[in-house]
């Protein structure tokens, strides 16, 4: 996907009640991540090296002050939204699909080895303090509860809650809610 279309998709997620939320520190981190990620695609090494020399200090300072560390080797689809900046770590090699929502205190990383990293599908909503660790696959349209620790695969249209996370089908949750109403 083209660089500017990805940025536009990210920024669209920061619009709330018809207004753009300019004061979210995560916007800067996401844009700088996108720039850094695209710099890695430059094939002419001297130009890539020079641009990285300019980009990296700005990116590192922004990450430090916002508390959001997104490794430039992570693969993140368009439409990323980070709420409540702080203590967010996304390791290099993590793959995240489109329209993912991340809240503060989230870690996406390895469990035992350097390359056992999570793969997240599209429309994944990750609650505050959640940890997704190891070579797990999180499906599309999944919600990860606050403080959940996900160490096994989560199928599409599910909810993962608890430590370690247990999986609940969204259709089961709807049935439970209907039963408690009557």
45-65 confidence digits (pLDDT tens): 999 999 999 999 999 999 999
Query: Are 111 and 132 contacting, i.e. CB atoms less than 8 angstroms apart?
Result: no
Q: How many domains does the chain have?
A: 1
- Residues contacting 63, CB < 8 A, separation 6+: 29, 69, 70
pLDDT tens digits, one per residue of 64-116: 999 999 998 899 999 999 988 889 999 999 999 999 999 999 999 998 877 78
pLDDT tens digits, one per residue of 2-26: 889 999 999 899 888 778 887 788 9
Rounded Cα–Cα distance for residues 162 and 37 (Å): 33
Banded pLDDT at 182 (limits 50, 70, 90) = very low
How do 143-144 and 68-70 pair as beta strands? unpaired
Can you tell me which residue has the tokens 């002050």? 65
Mean pLDDT across the chain: 89
- Three-point CA angle 46, 50, 53, nearest 5°: 140
| Structural domain boundaries enclosing 41 | 3-181
Residues forming the active site: 104
78 to 22, 119, 135, 167: CA distances (angstroms): 19, 15, 22, 26
Query: Are 93 and 120 contacting, i.e. CB atoms less than 8 angstroms apart?
Result: no
**CB < 8 Å & 24+ apart, contacts of 111-116:** 111/135, 111/151
């Amino acid at each position: 996907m083209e660089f500017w279309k990805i940025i536009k998709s990210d920024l669209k997620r920061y619009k709330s009640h018809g207004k753009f939320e300019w004061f979210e520190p995560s916007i800067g981190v996401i844009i700088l991540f996108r720039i850094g990620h695209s710099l890695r695609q430059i094939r002419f090494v001297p130009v890539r090296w020079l641009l990285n020399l300019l980009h990296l200090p700005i990116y590192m300072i922004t990450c430090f002050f916002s508390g959001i560390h997104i490794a430039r080797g992570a693969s993140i689809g368009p439409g990323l939204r980070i709420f409540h900046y702080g203590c967010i770590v996304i390791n290099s090699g993590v793959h995240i699909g489109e329209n993912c929502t991340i809240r503060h205190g989230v870690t996406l990383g390895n469990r035992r080895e350097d390359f056992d990293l999570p793969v997240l599908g599209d429309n994944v909503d990750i609650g505050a303090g959640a940890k997704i660790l190891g070579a797990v696959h999180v499906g599309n349209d999944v919600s990860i509860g606050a403080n959940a620790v996900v160490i096994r695969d989560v199928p599409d249209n599910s909810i993962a809650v608890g430590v370690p996370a247990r999986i609940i089908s969204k259709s089961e949750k709807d049935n439970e809610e209907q039963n408690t109403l009557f």
